[in-house]
């Protein structure tokens, strides 16, 4: 099973600031990496697949990069609606696995 480790656990930032979230895989997943946003009481929403391809309707302030074992989700300028928990997920092999999440909190 591929283990995904996200860092930091919590990121405290102000609106307008840049957020950089990390996801590290225990072995290569090539570019089979997705990012999701989840707000309290809601289902997750797909942001990025293929490590860097934005899903339909996702604003361009969200960007993904990386391949192999190291990946990054960047939010260029935080909007109030971006404060949420973010998960990475690998689909390079079964079982599909998720990171433990990074909470982006208002500072």
Residues of the shown chain interacting with another protein in the complex, contacts defined by CB under 8 A? 32, 34, 36, 38, 42-46, 49-50, 55-56, 87, 89, 91-92, 94-101
Closest approach of another protein to the CB of residue 79, in Å: 22
C-beta closer to another protein: residue 96 or 107: 96
Give the three-class secondary structure for 75.
Answer: strand
91: closest CA among 46, 48, 33? 33
C-beta closer to another protein: residue 17 or 24: 24
C-beta closer to another protein: residue 37 or 82: 37
Closest approach of another protein to the CB of residue 40, in Å: 11
Distance CA 8, CA 21 (A): 7
C-beta closer to another protein: residue 17 or 31: 31
Closest approach of another protein to the CB of residue 50, in Å: 8
Distance CA 51, CA 64 (A): 6
Closest approach of another protein to the CB of residue 33, in Å: 9
Please, are residues 71 and 23 in contact by the beta-carbon 8 Å criterion?
A: yes
Please, are residues 85 and 103 in contact by the beta-carbon 8 Å criterion?
A: yes
Which burial class, exposed, middle or buried, applies to 78 when counting CB atoms under 10 A from its CB (0-12, 13-18, 19+)? buried
């Amino acid at each position: 099973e591929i283990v995904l480790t996200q860092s930091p656990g919590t990121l405290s930032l102000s609106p307008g600031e840049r957020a950089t979230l990390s996801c590290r895989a225990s072995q290569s997943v090539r570019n089979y990496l997705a990012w999701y946003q989840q707000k309290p009481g809601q289902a997750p929403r797909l942001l990025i697949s293929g490590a860097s391809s934005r899903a339909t309707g996702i604003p361009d302030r969200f960007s993904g990069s990386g391949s192999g074992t190291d990946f990054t989700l960047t939010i260029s300028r935080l909007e109030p609606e971006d404060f949420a928990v973010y998960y990475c997920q690998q689909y390079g092999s079964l079982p599909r696995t998720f990171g433990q999440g990074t909470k982006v909190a208002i500072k």
